[in-house]
Amino acid sequence: MAANSDLSAARQFHDQTTHTPSSVRTSGHALDWDIKPFPFKVYTKLSPIPLPRTFELPTADTLGALAPATFPPAPRLTLEHLSAVLYLSAGVTRKKTYPGGGEVLFRAAPSTGALYQTEVYVAVGAVDGLEPGLYHFCPGDFALRRLRDGDVRAALAEAAADPSLARRAATVMLTAIYWRNTWKYQARGFRHLYWDSGTMLANLSAVANARGWAPRLLTGFVDADVNRLLGLDPAREAALELVAVGPEGAPAPPADALPAISDETLPLSSREVDYPSLRQMQQASMLPSADAVRAWRESAPPAPRNPRRSLTPLPPARAEAGRPLGETIQHRGSARRFSEASLTAAELATTLWWATRWVDADVPPGLVDPYLVVNAVDDVAPGAYRYWPEAHALEVVSTGNYRADSAHLCLEQALGGDAAAVIYFLAPLDALLASFGTRGYRLANLQAGLIGGRAYLAAYGQRFGASGLTFYDRKVVEFFSPHAAGLDAIFVTALGRAVRPPW
């Protein structure tokens, strides 16, 4: 089977990792706390390069930062700005100690189960205060470690089949360490790799926008080459996305063949459990060559879906949240409980509009369809809807009070019923696979995670709450059917007023 062409692998994986009431009841998976993975990747033999801890947080308005290209381009990247970007994307923003002594270091971007499997690397070409090279970012000690000396951008440009990476000042690369997530979520964790890197990309692209870094997201690259460049053990960790940042300068010198690297890291736990189906899913969606990447980028997306009934326009989105981006991210925390209080139509409209504007990327927007359960939004009748981003309007699927249904759909979590509104991302998965090959499965999960992450920022910017949620897959589709017939449930984000704000 040629790489990225085993569409049934993605379909089967998705179906085998669906949640149903009985699969959840009978899973029998108990958390083994003795082998809970350590949340940081620590290179034992590389010296830390401490990042500056005093830097300006971006003062740009949170909503404005969700729009690309509205900030003057930065002429140079600086180490202070890189520090701020890494902190607000992946840094430790708060610590919580639990009775009995347990401690969780919460991070800037939300992540399933606070397990934080997403790792960050930077290929540096032109950053004031930092030698060219390849670096790993550790949020634990807020330091970089140099994995490779010298400019690796030319090799990265080849691996990404994008010559502009050899000219951009730097490229940030997100990877995921499977075991950190599968410890709790088993093979379904594959989906989380993309949801959680999506929420991190929401922060990263907003902060980079605010700094004038013109971030460009690349989801297509030769996986094996990027993994090798980063020195990853591909059985345990894989590159997920690349983000080119900063101005273009003179191209990096052509790449010499880079030697393999495999620097020693601290074991995450005394024992790890392998989930072959997750590894195989990642493998089956790899692109094998630069030619394959270029061809893949030309893939035509699925035909656009069209409304069936008349649309009700939403109020125009607010241009400003009134809260600076840095403050929004520092004070963000997933709502643990929503009051049943309502949102205004303007608050919902602003969140939906900004969340669904797109980032500069190698794939088109609109691969996932935002459906909604509205529980309590002023001037919007409670019910089920489809939001149409281009028209910025709602199509009624059905009206009714669906609080109990929504809590049930969200794996019986009260958050889904108490929220003012819940966004259910569904996708034409089979059509996405036909367009983008097996990698279409990554894209569906990533795009939903990224829009969900942007919804978090829009919500916290406006001073209300949000939480990602998991769900009973088929029940979600059934709930929105016949409108959603043929689609698959991908991800859920709930919006509302938290009973207790995160701080």
Ligand X SMILES: Cc1cc2nc3c(=O)[nH]c(=O)nc-3n(C[C@H](O)[C@H](O)[C@H](O)COP(=O)(O)O)c2cc1C
CB atoms within 10 A of CB 426: 25
State in angstroms the smallest separation of the CB of 92 from ligand X.
10
State in angstroms the smallest separation of the CB of 115 from ligand X.
8
For residues 432 and 440, the answer to whether their CB atoms sit within 8 Å is: yes
CA–CA gap between residue 488 and residue 441 (Å, rounded): 11
State in angstroms the smallest separation of the CB of 33 from ligand X.
17
Residue 57 makes contact with ligand X by CB under 6 A: no
CA–CA gap between residue 448 and residue 427 (Å, rounded): 9
| Residues linked to residue 427 through DSSP beta bridges, in sequence order | 488
153 CB-near residues (< 8 Å, 6+ apart): 123, 125, 132, 165, 166, 167, 168, 171, 251, 252
State in angstroms the smallest separation of the CB of 378 from ligand X.
26
Which residue number has the CB closest to ligand X? 468
By CB under 6 A, what part of segment 428-467 binds ligand X? 449, 467
Binding mask 89-128 for ligand X (x = CB under 6 A): -----------------x---xxxxx--------------
State in angstroms the smallest separation of the CB of 131 from ligand X.
33
Total binding residues toward ligand X, as defined by CB under 6 A: 19
Nearer to ligand X, 233 or 412 (CB): 412
Prior bond of 482 cis (ω within 30°): yes
CA–CA gap between residue 375 and residue 496 (Å, rounded): 10
Both tokens of residue 169?
A: 């000042």
Binding mask 331-350 for ligand X (x = CB under 6 A): --xx----------------
The identity of residue 249, as a single letter, is: G
The DSSP code sequence of 176-221 is EEHHHHHHHHGGGHHHHHHHHHHHHHHHHHHHHHHTT---EEE--S
State in angstroms the smallest separation of the CB of 224 from ligand X.
27
State in angstroms the smallest separation of the CB of 112 from ligand X.
4
Backbone torsion region of residue 456, taken as left when φ is above 0, otherwise alpha when ψ lies between -120 and 50, otherwise beta: alpha
Applying CB under 6 A, among 162, 196, 369, 473 the residue interacting with ligand X is 196
Check residue 5 and report its DSSP letter: -
How many angstroms from the chain centroid is the CA of residue 121?
16
Angle CA(141)–CA(34)–CA(110) in degrees, nearest 5? Answer: 50
Applying CB under 6 A, among 83, 182, 199, 265 the residue interacting with ligand X is 199
CA–CA gap between residue 406 and residue 416 (Å, rounded): 5
Nearer to ligand X, 168 or 191 (CB): 191
Residue 139 makes contact with ligand X by CB under 6 A: no
State in angstroms the smallest separation of the CB of 247 from ligand X.
32
Nearer to ligand X, 199 or 205 (CB): 199
Residue 499 makes contact with ligand X by CB under 6 A: no
Residue 406 makes contact with ligand X by CB under 6 A: no
State in angstroms the smallest separation of the CB of 443 from ligand X.
16
Residues near ligand X (CB under 6 A): 106, 110-114, 195-196, 199, 333-334, 413, 415, 449, 467-470, 502
